[in-house]
Structure 1
């Protein structure tokens, strides 16, 4: 571990040196990349500096153990410093765990009403509102690219783009089937209904990151309409991009966010490339029999990653265990999704640490 820490500390120094070069301001993309990397490495370097300082303090405290007048005070110092150093080592192990290379990418978010009819569409709009507030709290921007209205003012489908630093890291845990249990506004008998919405979270890719043969893409232009269009019924700016139309591989993307046909075309192709990349990634995972599950199920009520129970004011994330899996619904639905995400990330880190320990143990036995 020490060798890897030295490498990262050296990289941090090089990044700081580069950021201090005035000439770097002339290269905004590289400057942005270095800034993100600096932010990624700062927690690790902060811990390393604290460890170095505490190691020096520990040596001084141990020297005082031989002084009868200072022995008791020094013993307390040695104990507290030793405990903190152990904590730092654990924190450093966590920071060295593998990270998702897509974490700092923008996101294509897709919500689709599943089982439950009109109530599922209403729940989709509730989730969109929740995610909009969550994005704002995380200094991210959510922009609806396309939406299809359903009965009672709900949405059968919503496609949105989320931009900002580490957008994918903030949203990747949301993919899957979300189930709601509540009394619909249309239910006169007061019976609780169960409905679902499937959520897809795709790391946004550019066209040059995935093979997208434009000869296989049909571009249609038409007048913007419905939710999501900012210049509704004013210009023929909406764009529909269809990949391999009429075949089993068909992917259709609609973008009617802006007034510019060119901008909508660019955005539609980015969404299309992101979907194609996700399809290729899923196929690769299936071939390799990866442990990664499909991020969106069929929308059936029995499939779920999270349940929103209004009667009990409780959100339950089924990927967590014990008391850690339950959260106050009134907070979560208002956009306080961060505690849920933090719990999921913490559980994943713990799983990775267990696997890393098991691999090290297996290696020791193998060496023996």
Structure 2
């Protein structure tokens, strides 16, 4: 008697379903001129697939390379005027991000005191920014990696969706950045080739040395320096950006499995309260930026949004905002969380 394997257990067929759903959701959001439409559409498709049919495996090198593409996208916006702005107003950038990190630590401590989640899991799970790095580091500090991933990526999904919706509501049709008429547009093949080489080297080094978010950080730092010295002109074809957006969306959505949700179901209401509180603080800080520093409202909101840096970068790049300011603020927080997050979390745990 032959045993047939259910169709949905075949990885190739699941990939076909994922691609079809991503094309459908991403295409509809792009047509609606939604900021980060491709990223959000692919994220929604991946969550639906992971919960209904089981996840597919996104090769790690693909994810690292996608992070390197976003690192180059950030570096492209970090022109000398944007860098001068960061240096001239560094107390503002550091102060805002210290408040966000402190709020995250206090919310995590509150969740631990309420025994919402076991051990130090809540502290790692609520840390704002650097989601993939926090998930990787949490296990080595004795936290439940599955629940940390659930908290981190639930926050990323909610914050990304809300930020994209706010950007969509805030922009008029006239404000919407003009999309390239073809995804295959290339202005200078030499610049594209040089940018591709930078991304490849950054991705290989990050994968080789297992650096958390290394693809994005290495491409960002190297790209910014080379661009400032006049040795590199960063050019990213629209097709490459769309593929990177898709990979980032899939990497977030595919982490949501039924097993993780079963473990986290009882803690979900309190986790959502903590995420809402963190987003509320971001909104208050955005209002302070508008009031005290004269920053445009949408720029301030995206700059203080406690989502994943990679997701907010995509929204900023597809919205009518001061991209350099948003990316500088997110970059400062990302580096602070990456450098100080583990120490702060370990101290709070003790």
Structure number with the bigger relative contact order (C-alpha 8 A, sep ≥ 6) is 2
The structure with the largest alpha-carbon Rg is 1
The structure carrying a bigger helix percent of its residues is 2
Normalised TM-score (structure 1) = 0.25
Q: Could you state the TM-score of these two structures normalised by the residue count of structure 2?
A: 0.25
